[in-house]
Homo-oligomer: A and B are copies of this chain.
């Protein structure tokens, strides 16, 4: 099946051909509630009419140009994104993928600081290749530079006291060599873990005091996914570089690296040169501009709060012995499963995913982590949320 495609992951044995809002349709006409928002990208729902229209309008004008030429829509989109940021930023560039943007951000941080080392948290996923991948849990490279961290959702906690000595020990010898601390505000790919904010503030203070940069990977968490505009708003930190991807294009490949003129002054042409075929292209810019505009005009994040509460209550209320833990941040929900009856943990993951697909619900899954993961569109309606909850109850009850 699908014999012409390099098998880079598993494919479901169906073909899909249409998408709208929270739903996708297969070629037999069956519809599915897409609770993974594509690849965690369509925070506004599939084929959002305003975004599609803005894309078509730009297709009538200009979609691509040489790197030496800028377009008005690119400048407007840059202003729109910069104005949307909760802390002060005044410089950006647009690329296509989050991974490439992270790679750019790390190179940028190295140039700005004239340092080489990259610090990350141990469950981070920062990119599909290069230094960003090396700094991720998916890399076999296990070094001091991937540090353990406490998970904590509390306002006041003892996390920092309990870990400070260990952190100091790791950092003190090398802190002067650290170019950047590269951080996901919630490690979604890594298992849906939110690091303790006091712990993160402590590390960020240390790194920034020593001239290192804080690079925020908001590729998954940015644009409302965590219940706020950006994940770093939960952490009380002031990043030097923010990277956006996924939701910025709502299904179209556009990403952004956002920073300040102070940093850019230490790292721009001719000392720092970067050119990619579609960097700053007007089509991606037009999409990004419209996406941010929809977030603002349609109060997407504000309206999403009640759905988050409803779903959070629902998932936290699930009491099955095969559910080891429920994790949630904003519109991100995860069920950590465990062995049950004749099912091994990993079999249970696949069974529940398959049963839900049969029922018309698409959920994410990570077999190795024993995890089911849901990141529905932020525009999920209450009716759709009720449909989701009903189907989950049905499938879990049948296993119980």
A residues sitting closer than 8 Å to B (CB atoms) are 2-12, 14-19, 24, 27, 34, 36, 38-42, 46-47, 52, 55-56, 59-75, 78-79, 82, 90-93, 96-100, 103-104, 107, 128-130, 245-246, 251-253, 257, 259, 261, 264, 268-269, 272-281, 283-284, 362, 364
B59 A47 Cβ-Cβ under 8 A: yes
CA distance A98 to B276 in the complex (A): 9
Among A8, A9, A259, A268, the most chain B Cβ lie within 10 Å of the Cβ of: A8
B65 A38 Cβ-Cβ under 8 A: yes
A65 B107 Cβ-Cβ under 8 A: no
> Which B residues are in CB contact (< 8 Å) with A40?
277
Residue of B nearest to A67 (CB): B9
What are 13 A-to-B residue pairs whose CB atoms are below 8 Å? A8-B279, A9-B67, A9-B274, A16-B65, A17-B71, A19-B63, A46-B64, A99-B276, A100-B128, A100-B129, A104-B129, A245-B277, A253-B284
> Which B residues are in CB contact (< 8 Å) with A72?
15, 17, 27
A97 B98 Cβ-Cβ under 8 A: no
B64 A252 Cβ-Cβ under 8 A: yes
A97 B16 Cβ-Cβ under 8 A: no
CA distance A278 to B64 in the complex (A): 19
Residue of B nearest to A53 (CB): B59
CA distance A65 to B280 in the complex (A): 24
A64 B19 Cβ-Cβ under 8 A: yes
B5 A75 Cβ-Cβ under 8 A: yes
> Which B residues are in CB contact (< 8 Å) with A42?
64
A39 B4 Cβ-Cβ under 8 A: no
Contact of A62 among B17, B74, B100, B283 (CB under 8 A): B17
B92 A5 Cβ-Cβ under 8 A: yes
B62 A18 Cβ-Cβ under 8 A: yes
- What is the CB-to-nearest-CB distance from A361 to chain B, in angstroms, rounded to a whole number? 13
> Which B residues are in CB contact (< 8 Å) with A46?
62-64
CA distance A52 to B64 in the complex (A): 12
CA distance A96 to B27 in the complex (A): 25
> Which B residues are in CB contact (< 8 Å) with A274?
8-9, 128
Q: A62-B17, A62-B47 are in contact. Are A11 and B68 (CB under 8 A)?
A: yes
A103 B130 Cβ-Cβ under 8 A: yes
CA distance A163 to B54 in the complex (A): 56
> Which B residues are in CB contact (< 8 Å) with A78?
4-5
A34 B90 Cβ-Cβ under 8 A: no
Q: A55-B59, A98-B277 are in contact. Are A39 and B66 (CB under 8 A)?
A: yes
CA distance A227 to B273 in the complex (A): 31
Residue of B nearest to A279 (CB): B8
CA distance A46 to B63 in the complex (A): 8
